[in-house]
Amino acid sequence: MTAPPGTNQETEIQIGACCDENYVPFASVMMISALENVDPNYRLHFHFVADKVPANVIEQMRRLVEERNGKLSVYPADTLRFDGLPTLRFGSSVYQRILLADYLPRDIRRVIYIDSDTLVIGDVSELWNVDLEGQPVAAVEDLSRSACESVGVSRREYFNSGVLVMDLDQWRAEDIHGTVAHYAGENAHRFQYVDQCSLNAILHTRWKRLPPVWNQQANIYKILRKYSEGSAYTINELREGVGRPKIVHFTGKKKPWLYYCFHPFKPLYREFLRQTPWGGRYPAPASPREKLRYVLSLRQHYKWLSRSSKMRFYRNLKK
């Protein structure tokens, strides 16, 4: 299969990532899981925008990537460009995806951006070869109900920015990154997620919809029939997103490196995390407060499981 424009070598896939030092272990999991699952006829080239990441930490990342036949290029983050914008709990690196068209060399014409809090369990060469149908970006619909409201668009028009296939030719020709960055600066006070909402405000009518399997958001486990109302996805597409995801995106506060996370892909995530130099940093709860939080989270998880089992039982009765 011929790869789309975006590389000097037909078999090299360009992947963008951005984070600060705190998220390096998790960006590394994204990278090595993508490397493990890609078609061996392709080579992955990661373009990492580093927000104040020490050189020795970058070298640890580089070894992880190169020993798996990948390539890592590093770009210092332009933090001044977004100085003063709110970051909430995410840090200033969340804005850097907007500027990938600036960071990457001009001969790179396409890039797949993937958030650091993800696990890649599918072959990203399939995503690399997707037809954008003339649009500047491809993405998966965001499955939350509230984020789209601040932008003033419907749920089916609002995408999640955790996984993006970007046509950098269009971004550069139209200065989309400059437009989005300026818009973010002018409207930060309005939005729940400034970077994602700004991207949607500019591109909500100009994106190619990807199947949910390419960005399985954590709340998909709670939604299906309820959240399919107002969504462009069918129930079957959402079910496939639950059962056969290709990129798992750990949205929300309960991340898989935390003891109170009960996500079904947490065990697999931990397997990859143990392959990094940072795998031993995330022990079981030790203090009384941590243990209490663990117990409360466990109780909430099993209450949800119980409700889900009852819903399945009554659904089967109706068949």
300: in domain: yes
Structural domain contains residue 4: no
Q: What is the pLDDT of residues 55-113, one digit of tens each?
A: 999 999 999 999 999 999 999 998 887 776 765 555 677 789 999 999 999 999 999 99
Specify the pLDDT at position 38.
98
Task: Kindly tell me if the per-residue pLDDT of 192 is higher than 90.
Answer: no
Higher pLDDT among residues 132 and 146, named by residue: 132
Q: Are residues 208 and 300 in the same domain?
A: no
Q: Looking at the structure, do residues 59 and 125 belong to the same domain, yes or no?
A: yes
Q: What is the pLDDT of residue 3?
A: 47
Average pLDDT over every residue of 22-44: 98
What was the pLDDT predicted at 294? 54
Q: In this structure, is residue 95 part of a structural domain?
A: yes
Counted residue by residue, the chain has a size of 319
Determine the structural domain holding residue 304 and report its residue range.
Answer: 285-319
- Joined together, the tokens standing for residue 65 give 């990537």
Over residues 19-48, mean pLDDT? 97
Provide the β-strand partners of residue 30: none
Average pLDDT, the chain: 86
- Average pLDDT of 189-197? 86
| Confidence at residue 318, expressed as pLDDT on a 0 to 100 scale | 42
- Among 66-75, 176-185, 225-234, the minimum mean pLDDT is found in 225-234
Domain at 265, CATH number? 3.90.550.10
In a domain, 51, yes or no: yes
Distance CA 162, CA 249 (A): 7
When comparing pLDDT for 2 and 145, which is higher?
145
**Tally of structural domains, the chain:** 2
Supply the pTM of this predicted model.
0.87
Look at residue 299 in the predicted model and tell me its pLDDT.
57
Residues 170 and 206 in one domain: yes
**Residue 2 falls inside a structural domain:** no
Q: Domain check: are 118 and 239 in the same one?
A: yes
Residue 208 · residue 130 · CB < 8 Å: yes
Same domain, 244 and 185: yes
Is 279 in the same domain as 289?
no
Q: Which residue has the higher pLDDT, 160 or 297?
A: 160
Q: Which residues pair with 165 in a beta bridge?
A: 112, 138
Q: Quick one: 263 and 161 in the same domain? A: yes
pLDDT-derived band at 197 (thresholds 50, 70, 90) equals very high
Residues 302 and 195 both lie in one domain:
no
Domain co-membership, 203 together with 120:
yes
Which residue in the block uniquely carries the two structure tokens 């965001």?
142
Same domain, yes or no: 206 and 298: no
- Residue with the bigger pLDDT between 100 and 192: it is 100
pLDDT category at 127 given cuts 50, 70, 90 is very high
pLDDT over threshold 60, residue 191: yes
Contact 138, 130 (CB under 8 A): yes
Same structural domain, 121 and 223:
yes
pLDDT in tens, 268-311: 999 999 999 999 776 565 567 655 655 555 555 555 444 444 34
- With contact defined as beta carbons under 8 Å apart, do 112 and 162 qualify? no
Q: Are residues 179 and 307 in the same domain?
A: no
> 76 - beta bridge partners?
50
